[in-house]
């Protein structure tokens, strides 16, 4: 029984999520379909990359992944499947794949789209499912599409580094309103070099230590820790950090030069100063 994960920004309010699964099962009713998330924010590439990256790496080798995010950012002429670190990932050619992998895919092929078919989410799901079934049937990866393809590339959102600081962006706010920043434990320690530090957000809120769990502080106290994906997280023990401090997820629109957007950016970034 083959595993297929589904990640999308289509939500669960209507029929579409169920219909996508129906399309997959029409191709192979033995597919074991696993939902990652269908609540990703539309057009938020850093958020989608964070969720996909940290889910995909935990699956067994030869798992198939379908990422239905920003499918129609531009008029699609093809879809992509990559084979990378023994995982298969299907997504639109919109730059998301290089953000998920944080590097160039090891193998890549473009799946052609029929000119006579309506280019919608259900059709795209069917194209991915047929390609994955071809792989299961033993068809070589190089034969399921066009490997001579130049893909769109988007760089992953990286923290800004300085001699005495590192500045990150809020890339995800979870169900408990804990705030995840695009600074990994490895990046933090490399930049820290054993120095003391202050994590600063919302102008004057500070944290000067890393906790191991939420219970390290009293109820309603703020804390910082590295989550299960090893990303920096700001939380409140039995509280909601994002709502309490007015913190927001990073968006590209906020990274403009208007005063209003610059003010908003203060609530989407976290800065760590080293002494």
Q: Please, what is the average pLDDT of the chain? A: 93
Pairing mode of beta strands 3-8, 32-37:
parallel
For 112-162, write each residue's pLDDT tens digit.
Answer: 999 888 889 999 999 999 999 999 999 999 999 999 999 999 999 999 999
Least confident of 106-115, 198-207, 211-220, 252-261: 252-261
**Residue 189 placed within a domain:** yes
Residues 27 and 81 in one domain: yes
Which stretches of 20-120 are assigned E, i.e. beta strand?
Answer: 32-37, 64-68, 78-84, 87-92, 107-112
For 221-266, write each residue's pLDDT tens digit.
Answer: 999 999 999 999 999 999 999 999 989 988 755 454 544 444 556 6
Residues 198 and 253 in one domain: yes
Pairing mode of beta strands 179-184, 197-201:
unpaired
- pTM of the entire predicted model: 0.91
Domain that holds residue 27: 3-143
| CATH number, domain containing residue 61 | 3.40.50.10790
Last residue of a domain, one of 92, 113, 143: 143
| CATH number, domain containing residue 230 | 2.40.30.90
Residues 31 and 116 in one domain: yes
Last residue of a domain, one of 94, 116, 143: 143
Biggest CA–CA distance in the chain, Å, is: 63
Residues 127 and 209 in one domain: no
**Residue 245 placed within a domain:** yes
**Residue 149 placed within a domain:** no
**Predicted pLDDT at 93:** 96
Residues 98 and 167 in one domain: no
Residues 127 and 168 in one domain: no
Residues 65 and 135 in one domain: yes
Phi, then psi, of 259 in degrees rounded to 5: -60, -40
Among 147, 159, 163, which Cα is nearest to 112's?
147
How far, CA to CA in Å, does 133 sit from each of 4, 96, 125, 260, 273? 11, 23, 12, 50, 51
**Predicted pLDDT at 252:** 59
């Amino acid at each position: 029984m083959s595993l297929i994960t589904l990640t999308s920004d289509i939500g669960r309010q209507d029929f579409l999520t169920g219909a996508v699964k129906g399309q997959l099962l029409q191709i192979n009713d033995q597919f074991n379909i696993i939902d990652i998330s269908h609540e990703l924010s539309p057009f938020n590439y850093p958020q989608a990359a964070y969720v996909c990256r940290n889910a995909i790496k935990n699956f067994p080798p030869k798992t198939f992944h379908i990422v239905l995010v920003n499918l129609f950012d531009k008029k699609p002429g093809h879809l992509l499947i990559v084979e990378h670190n023994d995982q298969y990932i299907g997504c639109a050619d919109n730059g998301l794949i290089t953000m998920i992998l944080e590097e160039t895919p090891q193998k890549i092929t473009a799946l052609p789209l029929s000119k006579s078919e309506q280019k919608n989410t259900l059709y795209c799901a069917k194209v991915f499912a047929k390609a994955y079934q071809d792989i299961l049937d033993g068809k070589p990866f190089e034969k399921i599409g066009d490997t001579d393809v130049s893909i769109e590339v988007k760089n992953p959102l990286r923290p800004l580094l300085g001699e005495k600081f590192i500045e990150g962006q809020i890339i995800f706010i979870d169900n408990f309103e804990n705030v995840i920043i695009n600074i990994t434990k490895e990046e933090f320690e490399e930049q820290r070099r054993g120095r003391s530090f202050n994590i600063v957000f919302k102008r004057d809120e500070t944290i000067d230590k890393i906790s191991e769990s939420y219970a390290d502080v009293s109820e309603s106290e703020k804390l910082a820790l590295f989550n299960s994906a090893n990303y920096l997280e700001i939380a409140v023990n039995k509280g909601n950090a994002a709502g309490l401090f007015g913190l927001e997820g990073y968006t590209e629109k906020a990274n403009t030069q208007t005063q209003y957007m610059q003010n908003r950016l203060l609530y989407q970034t976290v800065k760590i100063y080293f002494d």
